[in-house]
């Protein structure tokens, strides 16, 4: 089934935008910390943890360290979501879709 020219062009544009968005997401890097900077986590746009920095002062308290690592990871994941949403809304704005559609 052949799509009308205008619709076919829009589909191609949407596919190109999707590919560009995936490339941009791959480039996203965020950093979040917990415990006043005692634990810092770096995360990619695919939510892979790229690095963890731990202040030696908290290394002795395992429970507190676990809580801070978890809090820093959760905050980093939230920052990734926000960055992706910002990039997505910027790209979708170029399609001229009605607000709230995505």
Q: 44 and 10 in contact (C-beta within 8 Å)?
A: no
Phi-psi region for residue 96, left (φ > 0), alpha (ψ -120 to 50) or beta?
Answer: left
pTM for the model stands at 0.73
Instruction: Give CA–CA dist 14/27, Å, rounded.
Output: 20
27 versus 92: which is more confidently predicted? 27
Instruction: Count, in order, helices (H) and strands (E) of the chain.
Output: 2, 3
Tokens of 11: 């589909």
Domains annotated for the chain, with CATH where assigned, are: 27-91 (3.30.1310.10)
Task: Tell me which residue of 80, 87, 91 sits closest to 16, measured CA to CA.
Answer: 91
> What digits encode the pLDDT tens for the residues 42-59?
999 999 999 999 999 988
Give the pLDDT of residue 2: 63
């Amino acid at each position: 089934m052949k799509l009308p020219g205008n619709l076919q062009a829009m589909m191609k544009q949407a596919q190109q935008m999707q590919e560009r968005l995936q490339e941009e997401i791959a480039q996203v890097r965020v950093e979040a910390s917990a415990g006043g900077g005692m634990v810092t986590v770096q995360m990619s746009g695919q939510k892979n943890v790229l690095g963890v920095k731990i202040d030696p002062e908290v290394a002795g308290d395992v429970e507190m360290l676990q809580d801070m690592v978890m809090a820093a990871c959760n905050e980093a994941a939230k920052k990734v979501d926000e960055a992706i949403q910002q990039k997505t809304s910027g790209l979708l704005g170029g399609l001229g879709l009605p607000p709230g559609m995505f």
